[in-house]
Amino acid sequence: MDTATKGRKLIPPESSDEFLTLADELMKKDGYIEPAAFGVGLATIADSDGSVLDTWFGSVSCGDNERTAAVLADVLGHASGAATYRLGADHFAEILHWFAPFLGKPGHRNVAILEALGTETPAKGALPTTRVPVVTFISGLSDAPVDIHDAYLRLHLLSHRSVQPHGLNLDGVFGLLANCVWTDQGPCDLESFPVAQAKASVAGEHLVVNGIDKFPRMADYVIPSGVRIADASRVRLGAHLASGTTVMHEGFVNFNAGTLGASMVEGRISAGVVVGENSDVGGGASIMGTLSGGGKEVISIGSDCLIGANGGVGISLGNGCIVEAGLYLTAGTRVATSDGKVVKAGSLSGVPGLLFRRNSISGSVEALPREGTWSEGLNEELHNN
C-alpha cells in the first residue's frame, strides 16, 4: 500500500466544464492506463501487527467514472496496474479542490464518499483496530487479485451488481482474506479479540460476535436495491442478488454466486452457482457448488425453474425445469427417459423443459418432457421489493 504524499500546486477547476477538460487531459497522459475498476473506502488495520482485516468501499466504479479515476490516479501518482493507496490530508486537500464544482451536489457518489472521508475522522471503537481511507485500482478483471484490498473490491463489484458471477477472476481469494472475528463494531484479529472483549465488558459494553470467518455478511457492506433478505448472516459478501430476489430465513447465497432476476431463495446457492429469473430454490434445497472437493464444473439453474423442498442438483438445469421435492440429482444418477433409455443425469445437464421425479412405484428416477412454467410461477407480490 503506497502512502506517499505529493506536495503539488493545487489547480481547482472553477466549473464542471473546466473539470471535464482538465480530467480529459489527465486521461491522455503518457503512461496512464485506465483501470478496469476502482473503489474508494476504508480499510481496517489490526493494531497488533498492521495487517489488513477488511476494506469497505463506499463507492465502486467498473467501466465508468473514468475521469474520476484519472484525477485520483494523478493525485496519488498512479499510472497503471493494480494498487492501493492510503489517503492522507494532503491527498484530500488536492482531491477536494479538483472536485470543488461537485461538492455537496447529488448524483456524485464518488465525490460524496471522498468528501465524507476527507472531512470526518474515523471513530476509534472498543476494538484494537484503526480505519484508514484508501483508493484501490484494479488493472484487469481477468487478472487474479493481488492483495486483500483488491479481493474486497472484487467482492463489492459482485454484490453491487457491477459484474455478474464469473465475470471476474477470484483465483486465490481465500488465501488473501483474513480470518476475523466479525462483531457489531467491525472485524478483529483472532489473537487480539479476547483482551478486547474483556476491556469492553469492564467498560460496560458488549461485543456481539456475528461469526468467525474469512467472508463477512454482505449486508454490512452492500445493500442492493430491490431485494429482501430475512437473515443477513445467510448472504456472504460477493453474492450477486438481482432486483426482485427474496432470500428467506433458511436461504443461503455464497460469494461469486446468486440470481440473475427475480427469484425465491429458500435453499442453498453454493459458490459459483447462478440462478435464472423466475426460479425458486425450495426450502432445504441445495445446489452443488465448485468449492468442496475441488469441483470445477459451474452449475447454473435456468429461468422458470423449481427445485422442490429438500431436493437438489449437481447438474445444470435448462429453462423451465422442475426437480421433485426430496430428489437430489448428481451427474451420475441413473435416469429413465421418456423414450425408454436409461442415462446418467449428467448427459441431461442444461436440457430445458424437463421434470425430474422419482417413480413412486418402481423407485426409479425419471426425466419427463414438460411445457410451460411450474404451476403459476413466482408470486409477483412477494418479489415486488
Q: What pLDDT, on a 0 to 100 scale, did the predictor assign at position 357?
A: 96
Distance (Å, whole) CA 56 – CA 70: 21
Q: What is the pLDDT of residues 301-343, one digit of tens each?
A: 999 999 999 999 999 999 999 999 999 999 999 999 999 899 9
| HSE toward the beta carbon, residue 8, CA cutoff 13 A | 16
How does DSSP classify residue 2? Answer: B
Distance (Å, whole) CA 286 – CA 111: 42
Cβ(64)–Cβ(154) below 8 Å: no
Q: What pLDDT, on a 0 to 100 scale, did the predictor assign at position 294?
A: 45
Q: What is the dihedral of CA 161, 58, 174, 2, to 10 degrees?
A: 130
Cβ(276)–Cβ(305) below 8 Å: yes
Contacts of 293 (CB under 8 A, 6+ apart): none
- Which residue from 128, 140, 15 is spatially nearest to 80, judged by alpha carbons? 140
Cβ(135)–Cβ(72) below 8 Å: yes
Q: What pLDDT, on a 0 to 100 scale, did the predictor assign at position 88?
A: 94
The residue written with cell numbers 466479525 in the block is 182
pTM of model > 0.85: yes
Give the chain's domains with CATH numbers. Answer: 16-167 (3.30.70.2010), 218-383 (2.160.10.10)
Collapsing DSSP to helix, strand or coil, 257 comes out as: strand
Cβ(99)–Cβ(40) below 8 Å: no
Q: What pLDDT, on a 0 to 100 scale, did the predictor assign at position 171?
A: 95
Query: Is 191 among the catalytic positions?
Result: no
Write out the DSSP string of 293-355: GG--PPPEE-TT-EE-TT-EESS-B-TT-EE-TT-EE-TT-EEEETTS-EEEGGGGTT-SSEE
Distance (Å, whole) CA 37 – CA 157: 9
Q: Which residues of the chain have pLDDT under 70?
A: 1-11, 290-296, 372-379, 381-383
Collapsing DSSP to helix, strand or coil, 382 comes out as: helix
Annotated catalytic residue within 14, 34, 250, 266 = 266
